[in-house]
Chain A
């Protein structure tokens, strides 16, 4: 397991920072957000340190979202929510603020002040076709293989978090400040 000293969420995983944990397994941790959008707002994080979605190995990824779904079901059942959102900010332009991948699970009720809507845009046929072609070009030949989550999860017996020391203390924050 890899954790980073400078990463706040890794500190939460390693129990060095107290948090309100609601669920935990070998790969995944779910914690209450103390400043959530609604009471019961949780974030689901990989125990290993991955800044963005694309870096998470396939055998882990499924588990994180299955946990997010579990939390969402629990929110429906116990908090009597009228709805839930599963929301990921992947990359700085997408609003990501911490360099550790995170899935937000947000309980919803009507008029709760949360806005995850967007203005529907109308692109020209040409624009749509261009985007379609570009994407298809990249997707070509990428089948999704079956995962072998259970094996990998069991094969490592609760490894001790091993600290990767970052020489630069608050590298992430400086990166953010450097952004326009």
Chain B
């Protein structure tokens, strides 16, 4: 991150802004990539502790983890926020995340994990490269994420439901409207239903062609019996472990 601490004088900033203005979208993308520390990690010019990689995804250990084993799962292509990412790539990213969560349950003697994605500075995003945080969790690890509960009126909930479902293409019929759920007396300090007006973050429609998923065959197929044995053992471990965790939650 040494480059970022360099101070630019006003003239340089102006020149840079001028340069950015005149760039084509392709050039701009290239420029962004050069400036992005995570693109440099992906290209290998900055060192990292890689846990998993394939054609589209790289997963590395966070150098300043929330807990030991904190993993960043990133697409190799540079996207700033999730709405820019093509559907196939989102699916792939989270399949990798699930696999890694499973691996950390078994490898690190943890009993859970948090997955956190931040879109936008207001959401706590710090890097300009989209990433999924996978944080292994143990009892009493002193990590705490707070989402305080707010109470909304029925009208507000209905209004938001209408706005969202309309945007998402599902009209809620009158009869489907839920009955009042809240039996507690409502508090006065009700939160505003809408956020302040802010310049809309336009996300470009996804025009990228579907990418081919890397089909990395699990090694079990290619190599022979000895591997199969360990694989069997592994999956057994795996099941036992998952069972315990699910059991804590009340599954059979």
Residues of A within 8 A of B (CB): 6, 18-24, 30, 32, 34-42, 51-56, 58, 61-66, 69-96, 99, 104, 106-110, 112-123, 127-129, 131-132, 134-147, 149, 171-176, 179-180
A24 and B119 contact, CB distance less than 8 A? no
Which B residues are CB-close (under 8 A) to A122? 64
Which B residues are CB-close (under 8 A) to A89? 112, 114, 145
B245 and A52 contact, CB distance less than 8 A? yes
For the complex, is B8 an interface residue (Cβ under 8 Å from A)?
no
For the complex, is B32 an interface residue (Cβ under 8 Å from A)?
no
* 6 cross-chain pairs, A with B, having the tightest CB-CB distances, nearest first: A91-B112, A143-B216, A83-B120, A62-B91, A172-B250, A83-B123
Given contacts A62-B90, A93-B137, contact A51 B167 (CB under 8 A): no
- Closest approach, in angstroms, between the C-beta of A170 and any C-beta of chain B? 8
Which B residues are CB-close (under 8 A) to A51? 246, 249-251
Within 8 A of A (CB), among B127-159: 135, 137-139, 141, 143-152, 156-158
Given contacts A79-B163, A94-B137, A121-B65, contact A18 B178 (CB under 8 A): yes
Which B residues are CB-close (under 8 A) to A91? 111-113, 137, 245, 248-249
Given contacts A91-B111, A139-B52, contact A99 B64 (CB under 8 A): no
For the complex, is B121 an interface residue (Cβ under 8 Å from A)?
yes
Bound-state Cα–Cα, A37 to B111, Å: 25
B145 and A20 contact, CB distance less than 8 A? no
Which A residues are CB-close (under 8 A) to B176? 21
Q: Which residue of A lies closest to B227 (CB)?
A: A141
A20 and B242 contact, CB distance less than 8 A? no
Given contacts A76-B83, A91-B248, contact A65 B94 (CB under 8 A): yes
